[in-house]
Amino acid sequence: MTGPEPETQVVVGLEVHCQLDTKSKLFCSCSTDYRNDGPNTHVCPICLGLPGTMPMVNKKVIEYAMKVAKALNCEIAEESEFARKNYFYPDLNKAYQITQYDKPLALGGYVEIEGDDGKERKIQLTRIHVEEDPGRLVYMGNAERGRYSLVDYNRAGIPLIEIVSEPEMRSPKEARKFLNKLRATLEYLGVFDSDKEGSLRVDANISIKGSERVEVKNITSYKGVEKALTFEVTRQKNLLRRGLKVDRETRHYLEARGITQSARSKEMENDYRYFPEPDLRPLRVKSWVKDIALPELPDARRERFVAQYGCSLNHARTLTGELKTANFFEAVVAKNKDSCTLAATWIADTLTGELNYRDMGIDGVDPVKFAGLIALLKAGTITDKSGVEVLRAMLDEQHKGETVETPQAIVKRLNLGKTAGDDGAIHAAIKEAISENPKAIEDYRAGKKGAMNFLVGQVMKKTRGRADPGELNKLMETALKSLE
């Protein structure tokens, strides 16, 4: 026996840690460009936390963080302060992380998303603060059973901002949208590179209204957030359905298995013993805000795409959702000034789909060649169906690392040019279709309308989509009439 479905309003809040894309680290002048180099090659006495060293604040980091705060409509604090978060962990070389505690750089602000109900909604932010990334542990073998682990301090001191939202998202999907919007904004600002491994980490708070809150830690991908939260919603709902209660606890997201797991014992819970960092002076930077210039942000660009190019709102949203896609679109329409909506459809729907299918990014796609494809479509040289084939050929070439041909060359090589009315090939195909499908001819004679469509489909197959559908219909009608 199960009772009635319990009330299941989901409440989600996120803490998003993003690496800021500065050239040097937060408290020293070591380069942040460590990903292609060996371990412990981008380190100095300061970021190694050697005894006697002191942090120096990288002004650029504060500027970048303030740019984000301004773009997200936050209030910059009159005075903010760094604090020490004390805990022991081998990747934490000073045994404390320099972060901000009760005096963060920025307060308030919001991110606007399209809610599940289709309406735009503001998700309020609590705060934004600046902190340093710890180093990284490399386990030799298994994390549980390995004999030892190694520490790489290249990442130690990389600047992070932590953006904390209020618990105002109502579903995993909204959380994903929040994150996408946030990422887009940071990318537009030029302060964040989402392609860099480990550049984003998320902790999520999730509860079913009326129940205890669960914190899910260690989510390191955009898709992971939605997956982890969906798992949690199901887990929590199941507990409630069985009349059990949800424990207030911290859980870890195991990316590979797509599940969350309780972070065991309470004895591992830390008292971080925060106190103000005595080696740094408080930050009084509020007056810098007025000098921070913001670029065009995703919402403004979306509105512009609608107004300037006549994009539909949905297309504009997709196109501006990632900086690279938006830039790609504008590069393509620069070459096809009279085909804006066509280009929008082909990029937002077709290209995006094909890229997702191949797990590719838009980076390598040549906007000039893509513009060539749009031009062929616009001129009616190829059908839509052929257009997709051309696009697939281009992407496959790119994927394999081959030289990507021009769309014109592909059309020629695969003989995808639209068949003209007097093309012998199309007449031959019609004849074939008629002689191979006597049953359809009977049906046609019996007045079944579907028969005609079936025959047209057969011809399309034979000509591999090159025939113009409208023209083919006429030719088929003539051919069938001539049979009578």
Partner 1 sequence: MSALRFEPDDKYNAFLTVCKAPEGGNGKLSGIPVAVKDNISTQGIETTCASKILKGYIPPYDAHAVELVKAAGAAIAGKTNMDEFGMGTSTENSAFGPTLNPRDTGRVPGGSSGGSAAAVASGMVRMALGTDTGGSIRCPASFCGIVGLKPTYGRVSRYGLIAYANSLETIGPMAANVLDVSLLMSVIAGHDRHDATSQDRPYSHTPSADIKGTRIGIPQEYFGAGVDPAVAAVVKKAIGRLEELGAVTVPCSIPSMEYALAAYYVICTSEASSNLARFDGVRYGPAVEIKKSWHAAFQDARREGFGPEVRRRIMLGTFALSSGYYGKYYAKAQIARENIRKDFARLFADVDVLCGPTMPTIAFKLGEKSDPLSMYLSDILTVPVNLAGIPAISVPCGTVQDMPVGLQIMGRPFEDERVIDVAYAYEQGGQP
Can you give the binding site for partner 1, defined by CB under 8 A?
45, 48-57, 84, 86, 88, 90, 93-96, 147-148, 151, 271, 273-275, 278-281
CB nearer to partner 1: give 140 or 300.
Answer: 140
User: Minimum distance between the CB of residue 22 and partner 1, rounded to whole angstroms?
Assistant: 18
CB nearer to partner 1: give 154 or 458.
Answer: 154
- Measured CA to CA, the distance from residue 458 to residue 205 in angstroms comes to 55
CB neighbours of 334 closer than 8 A, spacing ≥ 6?
371
Helix (H) or strand (E) run with residue 129 in it: strand 120-132
CB nearer to partner 1: give 4 or 51.
Answer: 51
Count Cβ atoms below 10 Å from residue 341 Cβ, excluding itself.
Answer: 14
Identity of residue 294? L
User: Minimum distance between the CB of residue 246 and partner 1, rounded to whole angstroms?
Assistant: 25
User: Could you tell me if 160 and 19 are in contact, meaning their C-beta atoms sit under 8 angstroms apart?
Assistant: yes
User: Minimum distance between the CB of residue 276 and partner 1, rounded to whole angstroms?
Assistant: 9
Residue with tokens 């542990």: 137
Task: Sort strands 214-219 and 249-254 into parallel, antiparallel or unpaired.
Answer: parallel
- Count Cβ atoms within 10 A of the Cβ of residue 439 and give its class: 0-12 exposed, 13-18 middle, 19 or more buried: exposed
CB nearer to partner 1: give 55 or 321.
Answer: 55
Distance of alpha carbon 305 from its chain centroid, rounded? 20
- Measured CA to CA, the distance from residue 129 to residue 238 in angstroms comes to 36
Per-residue buried b or exposed e for 8-22, using 16+ beta carbons within 10 Å of the residue's own CB: eebbbbbbbbbbbbb
**Whole-angstrom Cα Rg for the chain:** 29
CB nearer to partner 1: give 54 or 313.
Answer: 54
- Measured CA to CA, the distance from residue 186 to residue 18 in angstroms comes to 9
CB neighbours of 340 closer than 8 A, spacing ≥ 6?
309, 310, 311, 333
CB nearer to partner 1: give 273 or 358.
Answer: 273
User: Could you tell me if 84 and 96 are in contact, meaning their C-beta atoms sit under 8 angstroms apart?
Assistant: yes
CB nearer to partner 1: give 280 or 452.
Answer: 280
- From residue 110, how far is each of 19, 123, 163, 477 by CA, in Å? 20, 5, 10, 60
Q: Is 21 helix (H, G, I), strand (E, B) or coil?
A: coil
CB neighbours of 133 closer than 8 A, spacing ≥ 6?
19, 155, 156, 157, 158, 159, 160
User: Minimum distance between the CB of residue 60 and partner 1, rounded to whole angstroms?
Assistant: 15
CB nearer to partner 1: give 98 or 434.
Answer: 98
Residue 155 tokens read as: 């990442």
CB neighbours of 201 closer than 8 A, spacing ≥ 6?
16, 17, 218, 219, 220
DSSP 152-196: E-TTTT-EEEEEEE-S-B-SHHHHHHHHHHHHHHHHHHTS--TTS
CB nearer to partner 1: give 94 or 466.
Answer: 94
CB nearer to partner 1: give 79 or 436.
Answer: 79
CB nearer to partner 1: give 8 or 86.
Answer: 86
Residue with tokens 């995703």: 298
- Measured CA to CA, the distance from residue 63 to residue 477 in angstroms comes to 69
User: Minimum distance between the CB of residue 90 and partner 1, rounded to whole angstroms?
Assistant: 6
Task: Sort strands 110-114 and 75-76 into parallel, antiparallel or unpaired.
Answer: unpaired
User: Minimum distance between the CB of residue 133 and partner 1, rounded to whole angstroms?
Assistant: 17
Residue with tokens 């939605």: 226
User: Minimum distance between the CB of residue 288 and partner 1, rounded to whole angstroms?
Assistant: 18
Count Cβ atoms below 10 Å from residue 416 Cβ, excluding itself.
Answer: 23
CB nearer to partner 1: give 151 or 409.
Answer: 151
CB nearer to partner 1: give 84 or 176.
Answer: 84
